[in-house]
Structure formats: C-alpha cells, structure tokens
Amino acid sequence: VTNYHVVRDAERLEVTFFDGLTARAEFVGGDPDSDLAIIRVTGPGTMLHPVSLGDSDQVFIGQRAVAIGNPFGQTWTLTAGVVSAIGRTMRSGTSQFSIPEMIQTDAAINPGNSGGPLLDAKGRVVGVNTMIASQSHSSAGVGFAVPVNIVKQIVPDLIESGSYVYPWLGISGTNLSLDLIEAMGLDVRRRGALVMEVVEESPAAEAHLQ
C-alpha cells in the first residue's frame, strides 16, 4: 500500500527492503480520490513481512505517533510526535474530492514520507503518511495521514478490480457560518450544511433536495 501520487506516473517500480534487497514491483490499482494505490512485489514470499494494522477509529489526540519514510531521499528515517488532531478533511492532491477523517500529526512529515506508515506506540499502522500543510513545504507545519480504516475499506477493491467506486450525493455546499446564520435568521446554535447546488439526475436530485 502506498500513495497514488507516488506511483501514478511511474514507468518502473522498485521496492527496497531493510536488508538492502531490491525487488521489482508492478502497479495493481489506484484511487485518486483517497490518494491510495496498490503495488505487487515480485519475488520470494519469504522476504515479505506484513505489518500489523491498527484501528484508526480508536486514535485519540495526544497519543504517540511515529512516521517512517524517506524524507528528502534519506532512507529509513523515523520521526516521532503525537496525534495533534483527528477527523480532518483535506483536499486530495490527485482529485477534485477531499479525503475525510484524516489524522493530523506533528511528527515530521516531509517530501519522501508519502506512502509510508504512521504507527502507534505498539507499532501498528494507523495511517498512510500523505501530505503536509506548510508554507515552506517542509516540516515547519503539520502532517496528515489517510486513516488505516479507509485503507481497509478501499484496498480489497483495488486488489480485485483495480479501482474503487464511491457512493455519491450530487450536491455542493458549505458549512453554516455565523454570517449565513444571521442572514437567514436562524438560531445561533444551528449546525449543519447549506446546499448550494444540486447536480441534475443525481441521487440528491432524485430525492428532491434543493
């Protein structure tokens, strides 16, 4: 499992293991909307040692977070920090859609960390390091990982068919801001979303959303 943006334009894929062994790999499938992809390593199965997957629904703010990757080409780099926020929605860099429930961490994530694991204190994968929000495009910012439960949801379909089909509503909207609440004369405690547009012949249109 890696990020889609890491392998999408690759003409040749190689995977290097911790003992220095390098093996060929092939692209199996990818999902631009979640920025996840699957590659298959060709070689003896005895050299493959799967990691343990955690439960990203159990991740909490303040827990230990460890990122592994190759930042700036420096292989096998480990950085540590904490989970600084959960439930973030970030725009995918490979799609017009956003990735929900992303894990935010202050563990240093830099170019080259993409596709690597975000681990908890017990070494279980809780996310796939994907992006950093930084004006300097370096670790002077916060990193984001796709939660492992999204990986569990999407990866089986990528392996089976090479793609993942999402359910969709067919609307565009925005969160209710204070300005909108005041303009519409709503109770200040009102929460929700304002539907701005409904796509023709979409599920939302069939349900008569306006």
Q: Catalogue the active-site residues.
A: 5, 35, 114
What secondary structure letter does DSSP report for 23? E
The DSSP H or E segment spanning 179 is helix 178-183
Please state whether beta strands 117-119 and 2-3 pair in parallel, antiparallel, or not at all (unpaired): unpaired
What is the DSSP annotation of 153-169?
HHHHHHHHHSS-PPP--
What secondary structure letter does DSSP report for 38? E
Are the CB atoms for 191 and 160 separated by under 8 Å? no
Please state whether beta strands 64-69 and 13-16 pair in parallel, antiparallel, or not at all (unpaired): unpaired
Torsion of CA 151, 154, 157, 162, to 10 degrees: -90
Q: Distances in Å between the alpha carbon of 111 and those of 3, 30, 66, 74, 122?
A: 12, 20, 16, 10, 25
Helix (H, G, I), strand (E, B) or coil at 26: strand
